[in-house]
Amino acid sequence: MNRYLNEARSVQLFPGTGKPEQIATVLEHEIRSGVLGFGDRLQSENELVQRFSVSRNTVRKGLEELSSRGLITTKVGIGSFVTFDGNPVDDSIGWSRALANAGANAETRTLRLEVIEDPDLAALLGIENPFFIAVDRVRTNASDGHAISIERSRLPLSPELEDVPLRGLREGSLHQTLRGAGLIPDHGEEWVGIEMLNPEDAAILGCPQGTPFLRGRRLTRAADDRPIEYVTSLLNPAHFALHMRF
Protein backbone atom coordinates (compact mmCIF):
# COMPACT_ATOMS: atom_id res chain seq x y z
CA MET A 1 0.00 0.00 0.00
CA ASN A 2 1.45 3.40 -0.92
CA ARG A 3 2.27 6.17 1.54
CA TYR A 4 -0.74 8.25 0.51
CA LEU A 5 -3.25 5.52 1.35
CA ASN A 6 -1.67 5.20 4.79
CA GLU A 7 -1.82 8.96 5.45
CA ALA A 8 -5.25 9.81 4.05
CA ARG A 9 -7.68 10.85 6.78
CA SER A 10 -11.41 11.47 7.05
CA VAL A 11 -12.48 14.95 5.99
CA GLN A 12 -15.47 17.01 7.17
CA LEU A 13 -17.17 18.91 4.33
CA PHE A 14 -18.95 22.19 5.04
CA PRO A 15 -22.00 23.98 3.59
CA GLY A 16 -21.43 26.67 1.00
CA THR A 17 -19.17 25.33 -1.72
CA GLY A 18 -20.45 22.25 -3.53
CA LYS A 19 -19.26 18.95 -2.08
CA PRO A 20 -17.68 17.71 -5.35
CA GLU A 21 -15.62 20.91 -5.55
CA GLN A 22 -14.55 20.51 -1.91
CA ILE A 23 -13.47 16.92 -2.53
CA ALA A 24 -11.50 17.99 -5.61
CA THR A 25 -9.84 20.80 -3.65
CA VAL A 26 -8.78 18.49 -0.80
CA LEU A 27 -7.28 15.99 -3.23
CA GLU A 28 -5.65 18.78 -5.26
CA HIS A 29 -3.95 20.04 -2.09
CA GLU A 30 -2.65 16.54 -1.37
CA ILE A 31 -1.27 16.24 -4.90
CA ARG A 32 0.38 19.67 -4.96
CA SER A 33 1.79 19.32 -1.43
CA GLY A 34 3.42 15.99 -2.24
CA VAL A 35 1.26 13.88 0.07
CA LEU A 36 0.07 12.11 -3.08
CA GLY A 37 3.18 11.46 -5.13
CA PHE A 38 3.67 10.67 -8.78
CA GLY A 39 2.49 7.14 -9.53
CA ASP A 40 0.45 6.85 -6.32
CA ARG A 41 -3.14 5.82 -6.79
CA LEU A 42 -6.11 7.52 -5.26
CA GLN A 43 -8.23 5.69 -2.74
CA SER A 44 -11.03 3.62 -4.27
CA GLU A 45 -14.49 5.13 -4.70
CA ASN A 46 -15.70 3.15 -1.68
CA GLU A 47 -12.84 4.48 0.47
CA LEU A 48 -13.51 8.05 -0.67
CA VAL A 49 -17.23 7.65 0.08
CA GLN A 50 -16.35 6.68 3.65
CA ARG A 51 -13.63 9.30 3.98
CA PHE A 52 -15.81 12.23 2.91
CA SER A 53 -19.13 10.81 4.18
CA VAL A 54 -20.86 11.43 0.83
CA SER A 55 -22.57 9.38 -1.86
CA ARG A 56 -20.74 7.51 -4.60
CA ASN A 57 -22.21 9.92 -7.17
CA THR A 58 -20.75 12.90 -5.27
CA VAL A 59 -17.33 11.22 -5.19
CA ARG A 60 -17.48 10.60 -8.94
CA LYS A 61 -18.35 14.25 -9.60
CA GLY A 62 -15.42 15.26 -7.38
CA LEU A 63 -13.07 13.04 -9.39
CA GLU A 64 -14.44 14.48 -12.63
CA GLU A 65 -13.68 17.97 -11.29
CA LEU A 66 -10.15 16.89 -10.32
CA SER A 67 -9.68 15.45 -13.80
CA SER A 68 -10.89 18.70 -15.39
CA ARG A 69 -8.17 20.50 -13.41
CA GLY A 70 -5.63 18.30 -15.18
CA LEU A 71 -4.45 16.58 -12.01
CA ILE A 72 -5.58 12.98 -12.57
CA THR A 73 -6.31 10.70 -15.49
CA THR A 74 -9.12 8.20 -15.29
CA LYS A 75 -10.10 5.30 -17.51
CA VAL A 76 -13.83 4.79 -17.73
CA GLY A 77 -16.07 2.30 -19.45
CA ILE A 78 -13.60 -0.56 -19.18
CA GLY A 79 -14.93 -3.91 -18.11
CA SER A 80 -14.62 -7.63 -18.63
CA PHE A 81 -16.97 -10.51 -18.13
CA VAL A 82 -17.22 -14.22 -18.74
CA THR A 83 -19.51 -15.57 -21.45
CA PHE A 84 -21.12 -19.00 -21.86
CA ASP A 85 -21.55 -19.94 -25.53
CA GLY A 86 -21.31 -16.22 -26.32
CA ASN A 87 -23.91 -15.15 -23.76
CA PRO A 88 -22.80 -12.95 -20.85
CA VAL A 89 -22.71 -14.65 -17.45
CA ASP A 90 -23.98 -12.22 -14.80
CA ASP A 91 -22.63 -13.93 -11.69
CA SER A 92 -23.96 -11.13 -9.45
CA ILE A 93 -27.26 -13.05 -9.41
CA GLY A 94 -25.61 -16.32 -8.46
CA TRP A 95 -23.65 -18.75 -10.63
CA SER A 96 -26.47 -21.28 -11.06
CA ARG A 97 -29.03 -18.69 -12.15
CA ALA A 98 -26.46 -16.94 -14.33
CA LEU A 99 -25.62 -20.15 -16.18
CA ALA A 100 -29.31 -20.98 -16.59
CA ASN A 101 -29.97 -17.50 -18.01
CA ALA A 102 -27.04 -17.95 -20.40
CA GLY A 103 -28.55 -21.18 -21.71
CA ALA A 104 -26.45 -23.74 -19.85
CA ASN A 105 -28.31 -26.95 -19.02
CA ALA A 106 -26.21 -27.55 -15.93
CA GLU A 107 -26.41 -29.95 -13.03
CA THR A 108 -24.50 -29.12 -9.84
CA ARG A 109 -22.90 -31.58 -7.45
CA THR A 110 -21.32 -30.55 -4.15
CA LEU A 111 -17.97 -32.20 -3.58
CA ARG A 112 -17.07 -30.57 -0.29
CA LEU A 113 -18.64 -28.40 2.40
CA GLU A 114 -16.50 -28.15 5.52
CA VAL A 115 -14.29 -25.91 7.63
CA ILE A 116 -10.60 -25.92 6.69
CA GLU A 117 -7.47 -24.13 7.88
CA ASP A 118 -5.49 -22.24 5.22
CA PRO A 119 -2.97 -19.77 6.70
CA ASP A 120 -1.50 -19.05 3.25
CA LEU A 121 -4.85 -17.87 1.91
CA ALA A 122 -5.45 -15.82 5.07
CA ALA A 123 -2.10 -14.09 4.50
CA LEU A 124 -2.99 -13.47 0.85
CA LEU A 125 -6.29 -11.85 1.85
CA GLY A 126 -4.72 -9.89 4.71
CA ILE A 127 -6.86 -11.42 7.45
CA GLU A 128 -5.84 -12.97 10.77
CA ASN A 129 -8.30 -15.87 11.02
CA PRO A 130 -6.87 -18.82 9.02
CA PHE A 131 -10.16 -20.76 9.01
CA PHE A 132 -12.44 -20.88 5.97
CA ILE A 133 -15.57 -22.67 4.85
CA ALA A 134 -14.63 -24.70 1.78
CA VAL A 135 -17.39 -25.14 -0.81
CA ASP A 136 -16.32 -27.24 -3.81
CA ARG A 137 -18.81 -27.90 -6.61
CA VAL A 138 -18.69 -29.48 -10.06
CA ARG A 139 -21.13 -28.66 -12.86
CA THR A 140 -21.91 -30.93 -15.78
CA ASN A 141 -24.29 -30.83 -18.71
CA ALA A 142 -27.59 -32.40 -17.71
CA SER A 143 -28.11 -33.99 -21.13
CA ASP A 144 -24.89 -35.91 -21.70
CA GLY A 145 -22.85 -35.32 -18.52
CA HIS A 146 -19.91 -33.55 -20.17
CA ALA A 147 -17.86 -31.24 -17.95
CA ILE A 148 -18.75 -27.57 -17.56
CA SER A 149 -16.82 -26.33 -14.53
CA ILE A 150 -15.37 -26.83 -11.06
CA GLU A 151 -15.66 -24.02 -8.51
CA ARG A 152 -13.75 -24.04 -5.23
CA SER A 153 -15.04 -21.27 -2.97
CA ARG A 154 -13.39 -20.21 0.28
CA LEU A 155 -15.46 -18.13 2.70
CA PRO A 156 -13.66 -16.55 5.68
CA LEU A 157 -15.19 -18.19 8.74
CA SER A 158 -17.34 -15.68 10.62
CA PRO A 159 -20.22 -15.76 13.15
CA GLU A 160 -22.69 -15.15 10.30
CA LEU A 161 -21.60 -18.35 8.54
CA GLU A 162 -20.49 -20.68 11.34
CA ASP A 163 -23.55 -22.95 11.03
CA VAL A 164 -23.31 -23.37 7.23
CA PRO A 165 -21.25 -26.61 7.38
CA LEU A 166 -24.01 -28.13 9.55
CA ARG A 167 -27.19 -26.90 7.84
CA GLY A 168 -25.84 -26.64 4.29
CA LEU A 169 -26.32 -23.90 1.71
CA ARG A 170 -29.51 -21.88 1.77
CA GLU A 171 -31.77 -23.24 -1.00
CA GLY A 172 -28.67 -24.99 -2.31
CA SER A 173 -27.23 -21.61 -3.34
CA LEU A 174 -24.04 -20.00 -2.11
CA HIS A 175 -25.34 -16.69 -3.47
CA GLN A 176 -28.46 -16.93 -1.26
CA THR A 177 -26.42 -18.14 1.72
CA LEU A 178 -24.14 -15.11 1.68
CA ARG A 179 -26.99 -12.63 1.28
CA GLY A 180 -29.03 -14.37 3.95
CA ALA A 181 -26.10 -13.81 6.30
CA GLY A 182 -25.98 -10.10 5.38
CA LEU A 183 -22.77 -10.48 3.37
CA ILE A 184 -23.43 -8.41 0.25
CA PRO A 185 -20.73 -8.28 -2.45
CA ASP A 186 -19.78 -4.73 -3.36
CA HIS A 187 -16.54 -4.90 -5.34
CA GLY A 188 -13.61 -7.16 -6.05
CA GLU A 189 -11.02 -8.43 -8.49
CA GLU A 190 -10.82 -11.28 -10.97
CA TRP A 191 -7.95 -12.97 -12.80
CA VAL A 192 -8.25 -15.40 -15.73
CA GLY A 193 -5.61 -17.69 -17.22
CA ILE A 194 -5.12 -21.19 -18.62
CA GLU A 195 -4.45 -24.34 -16.61
CA MET A 196 -3.83 -27.92 -17.74
CA LEU A 197 -6.00 -30.34 -15.75
CA ASN A 198 -4.12 -32.29 -13.09
CA PRO A 199 -5.02 -35.96 -12.49
CA GLU A 200 -7.48 -35.16 -9.66
CA ASP A 201 -9.44 -32.52 -11.57
CA ALA A 202 -9.34 -34.55 -14.77
CA ALA A 203 -10.95 -37.49 -12.93
CA ILE A 204 -13.67 -35.25 -11.44
CA LEU A 205 -14.46 -33.67 -14.79
CA GLY A 206 -14.15 -36.86 -16.85
CA CYS A 207 -11.55 -35.28 -19.13
CA PRO A 208 -8.05 -36.41 -20.14
CA GLN A 209 -5.22 -35.25 -17.90
CA GLY A 210 -3.56 -32.14 -19.35
CA THR A 211 -6.74 -30.82 -21.01
CA PRO A 212 -6.55 -27.00 -21.08
CA PHE A 213 -9.25 -25.23 -19.05
CA LEU A 214 -9.78 -21.57 -18.28
CA ARG A 215 -8.72 -20.86 -14.69
CA GLY A 216 -10.48 -17.98 -12.97
CA ARG A 217 -9.72 -16.53 -9.55
CA ARG A 218 -12.17 -14.04 -8.06
CA LEU A 219 -11.98 -12.13 -4.79
CA THR A 220 -15.23 -10.50 -3.68
CA ARG A 221 -15.37 -7.88 -0.93
CA ALA A 222 -18.09 -6.10 1.02
CA ALA A 223 -18.49 -2.31 0.98
CA ASP A 224 -16.16 -2.04 4.01
CA ASP A 225 -13.50 -3.99 2.03
CA ARG A 226 -14.01 -7.12 4.12
CA PRO A 227 -13.25 -10.28 2.07
CA ILE A 228 -16.42 -12.31 1.50
CA GLU A 229 -15.41 -15.01 -0.95
CA TYR A 230 -12.31 -16.21 -2.77
CA VAL A 231 -13.15 -18.69 -5.52
CA THR A 232 -10.99 -20.57 -7.98
CA SER A 233 -12.83 -21.90 -11.03
CA LEU A 234 -11.89 -24.25 -13.84
CA LEU A 235 -14.09 -23.51 -16.87
CA ASN A 236 -14.46 -25.64 -19.98
CA PRO A 237 -13.18 -23.48 -22.89
CA ALA A 238 -15.59 -25.26 -25.23
CA HIS A 239 -18.25 -23.07 -23.58
CA PHE A 240 -16.55 -20.24 -21.70
CA ALA A 241 -14.59 -17.23 -22.92
CA LEU A 242 -13.42 -13.91 -21.51
CA HIS A 243 -15.02 -10.93 -23.21
CA MET A 244 -13.49 -7.47 -22.73
CA ARG A 245 -15.29 -4.21 -23.41
CA PHE A 246 -13.65 -0.77 -23.55
Question: Which stretch of 3-12, 174-183, 198-207 has the lowest confidence by average pLDDT?
Answer: 3-12
Say what the pLDDT of residue 185 is. Answer: 85
Say what the pLDDT of residue 9 is. Answer: 63
* Residue 93 predicted with pLDDT over 80: no
Closest CA to 11 of 28, 187, 208: 28
* Residue 246 predicted with pLDDT over 60: no
* Residue 92 predicted with pLDDT over 80: no
* Residue 81 predicted with pLDDT over 70: no
In whole angstroms, what is the distance from residue 202 CA to residue 36 CA?
Answer: 49
Phi, psi for residue 96 in degrees, rounded to 5: -65, -50
Which residue type sits at 57? N
Q: Are strands 227-235 and 147-156 parallel, antiparallel or unpaired?
A: antiparallel
Distance in Å from the first CA to the final CA of the chain: 27
* H helix intervals, the chain: 3-7, 19-32, 45-52, 56-68, 95-101, 119-125, 164-167, 174-180, 199-205
What are the contacts of 62-69 at 24+ separation with CB within 8 A?
A: 62/19, 62/20, 62/21, 62/22, 62/23, 62/24, 62/27, 63/23, 63/24, 64/20, 65/20, 65/21, 65/23, 65/24, 66/23, 66/24, 66/27, 66/28, 69/24, 69/28
pLDDT confidence bin for 208, thresholds 50/70/90: very high
* Residue 49 predicted with pLDDT over 60: yes
* Residue 27 predicted with pLDDT over 90: no
Triad 192, 190, 115: Cα angle to 5°: 105
* Residue 221 predicted with pLDDT over 50: yes
Triad 79, 38, 191: Cα angle to 5°: 30
pLDDT confidence bin for 244, thresholds 50/70/90: low
Average pLDDT, integer, range 219-243: 89
Say what the pLDDT of residue 37 is. Answer: 64
Average pLDDT, integer, range 199-206: 95
